Homo-oligomer: A and B are copies of this chain.
Amino acid sequence: MQKKTKATRKPRITIREVASDAGVSVAAVSKVLRDAYGVSDALRAKVQASMDKLNYRPLASARGLRGRTYTLGLIFPDLRNPFFADVFSGVNAALERTQYQAMQGISTSANALVEAMIDRQMDGLILIGPNEQAERLDEIAARLPLVLIGHHQETERHFDVVNNDDQLGARLAVRHLVNNGYRNVAMLSLGTPVSSVIQQREIGYRMEMVERGLGEYITIVRAPQVLRDVQIVLRNFLESRNRPEALFCWTDLMAFKAISVATEMGLAIPDDLAIVGYDNTVFCDFAQNRLTSIDQSGEVLGLQATRLLIERINGRVEADQFMVTPRVVVRASSQRVKKG
């Protein structure tokens, strides 16, 4: 510990000062703040005026000790996937004109972060693409309002779930490729830990392949999140004897990497190898990628999750859910140049 010479900072305006300035009780100011019952328009106006005049802002710590902090925790699994930026803008849109503020945390293993957020009195939590077991999630939900984005386990649960139909999304990807003449369609999936989102996409891929009579071509290659490992796995796979004609990647980020590896190997996209991603992130449109991708409307997911969370904070107890229907956004990476 170091010596504390900390400069004395001027103290904050407190609720007491507002009350005395407005000539009302502290309790009255608190009521205005919380939009609680039993406040006349006249009183509200008086208090508002004093708050504006004094530039008062309630202190979240103090509020937290008795009631809410008006802070929502948002946990992302990583910062590199641009898909999360879409989700985030949805959250922000939902928070506009509310008293709530979002604080983000980023961690692959949400566990420690969840505890830290609970310690910091978040009023509720949104977990995006969590890896945790259903049991653990219920444990968290027992402690504070919880909404999950991207979770498919069908259990009795005490939290809300916002999803896109990942199974359908994968089917759409395969369907699109097959309709464009590709038969040997492989899938690039994620190694452990396997989230339910990935599982659904794998199932969708498998089912569609089987239904199209292409069961014999089913190949799922799994790689970790780390790009260096993806490089190695993909390179090996694409150099092998049974190189596929098309590759469906579980997220755009991996698809971009796939484009990179294929390009390095001198493969032409989409003639030698077609590629489809998932998320329809902003980089898909870039001319060096032109990546066909499944759009799952990240912004809508973020928006809905936030709405549900606030409802839940306000007392809803039953589990709710929301599902977005994905759609294919076709670009050059998956359509063979027409011959003839």
Contact = CB atoms under 8 A, between A and B. Distances in A.
Interface of A: 1-7, 9-10, 35-37, 57-62, 64-65, 69, 71, 78-80, 82, 84-85, 88, 101-106, 115-116, 119-121, 142-144, 227, 256-257, 259-261, 263-264, 282-283, 285-289, 311, 314-317
A227 B57 CA distance: 36
B120 A60 contact: yes
Copies in the complex: 2
30 contacts: A1-B35, A1-B314, A2-B314, A2-B315, A3-B315, A7-B317, A9-B143, A10-B142, A57-B115, A57-B119, A59-B65, A59-B119, A59-B121, A60-B119, A61-B64, A61-B120, A61-B121, A65-B65, A79-B85, A80-B282, A102-B105, A103-B103, A104-B104, A104-B105, A259-B286, A259-B287, A263-B287, A264-B287, A288-B288, A288-B289
Given A60-B121, A264-B287, 12 more contacts: A2-B311, A6-B315, A7-B317, A9-B143, A61-B62, A61-B64, A71-B120, A80-B82, A80-B282, A259-B286, A260-B285, A288-B288
Given A60-B121, A82-B80, A104 B106 contact: yes
- Residue from A10, A105, A116 having most chain B Cβ neighbours under 10 A: A116
Given A263-B287, A264-B287, A286-B259, A120 B142 contact: no
Contacts of A116: 101
A227 B317 CA distance: 42
A58 B84 CA distance: 31
Contact of A65 (B57, B62, B106, B264): B62
Contact of A287 (B37, B115, B144, B260): B260
Given A65-B61, A121-B61, A142-B9, A256 B283 contact: yes
Given A65-B61, A65-B65, A69-B61, A288 B315 contact: no
A264 B7 CA distance: 57
A260 B7 CA distance: 51
A317 B5 contact: yes
Given A105-B103, A121-B59, A286 B256 contact: yes
Contact of A88 (B106, B119, B143): B106
Nearest to A285: B260
4 shortest interchain CB distances as A-B pairs: A61-B64, A263-B287, A79-B85, A260-B286
A143 B12 CA distance: 10
A139 to B, nearest CB: 11
B85 A78 contact: yes
Contacts of A59: 65, 119, 121
Contacts of A289: 288
Contacts of A37: 1
